[in-house]
Amino acid sequence: MKKTLGVAIPAALLLLSAGGSLRAAGVGTTGAQFLKVGIGARPTAMGGAFSALADDANAVNWNPGALGTIERKNVTASYSSLFQDQSQGFVGYAGPLKDDMGTVAAGMNYLTVTNIERRAADTEEADSTFSNQNFALNLSYGRRAFAEGLALGGSLKFIRTTLDSFSASAAALDFGALYKTRIENLTAGVSMQNLGTKIGPDPLPFKIKGGAAYRLFDRKLALAADVDWLAVDQRAYLSLGTEYWLQKILAARAGYQFGRGQDQLNNRFVGLGIGLGLKAERFNLDYAFVPFGNLGDTHRMTIGMHF
């Protein structure tokens, strides 16, 4: 099989990894599919069950409402080794303002596919190569709201995608809320993502995400569950995740995304995530392993610092 197919098929399956729904009434067509790919080692290790746990700059990708609860400035950088000539990354910053005026954040998410071969005929040698470049820039704000335990937030997002000679841009808004319930250590989160203009001829992948997280054993153990609804695709997914701090510096994580990609890849391990986290004073390092069946395994790394 020529390299063109070797790149294109894994790319398509990865970017459509939200396939295989628990409940589907139909499938739409969306642009900027890279926005469906999970960001950050800690959230992906937990199967994407993160809307009620986000507590650093990664909140701009999962629930901007959680920004309102952040008490320290922090930066984060993630890198994901995906399939052939594909890579994904995120860099972000979040910092609280003075006088309890909320938290501002900014981040950039990108996904690139390089060395895609172009052929005018069925030949061994490629005529040339081209690339697929995608990025989304977020400017976000979150603040504790009028109700006790409630934080609200939002993001303004600029999206750009380029494939060979084709390019398109879009603008979108994200909204989110995080609520610390009256039940001790139980939090709930909800977000609406990618509400905006079309990118090229297609709508953005608008999504509603909601879930809850509960901490036990002096907050060493976290259990989380999320439900995602992709409105255009008309698909729903369930994610379950857990995190356990074995010591103050070491965490073990695992999660599962039910239905994601299993009908395309026909492998029960697709949707699984496992990982580790290390914490030392102001720094943290996270790793996630996410298998994709016959396509291979993916590895995610995130480094962060609080100050």
pLDDT, tens digit (0-9, with 9 covering 90-100), for 28-38: 689 999 999 99
Q: Which homologous superfamily is 3-306 in?
A: Outer membrane protein transport protein (OMPP1/FadL/TodX) (2.40.160.60)
pLDDT band at 294 (very low <50, low <70, confident <90, very high): confident
Separation of alpha carbons 108 and 110, rounded Å: 7
Q: How confident is the model over 167-217, as pLDDT tens digits?
A: 999 999 999 999 999 999 999 999 999 999 999 999 999 999 999 999 999
Output the pLDDT for position 200.
92
Q: How confident is the model over 201-260, as pLDDT tens digits?
A: 999 999 999 999 999 999 999 999 999 999 998 889 999 999 999 988 999 999 999 876
Output the pLDDT for position 14.
42
The pTM for the full model equals 0.86
On the question of pLDDT at 4 being above 80, the answer is no
Q: How confident is the model over 80-96, as pLDDT tens digits?
A: 988 777 899 999 999 99
Q: Which residues pair with 242 in a beta bridge?
A: 223, 254
On the question of pLDDT at 16 being above 70, the answer is no
Least confident range from 53-67, 97-111, 281-295: namely 281-295
Centre a 10 Å sphere on the Cβ of residue 184 and count the other Cβ atoms it contains.
8
Least confident range from 18-22, 144-148, 197-201, 211-215: namely 18-22
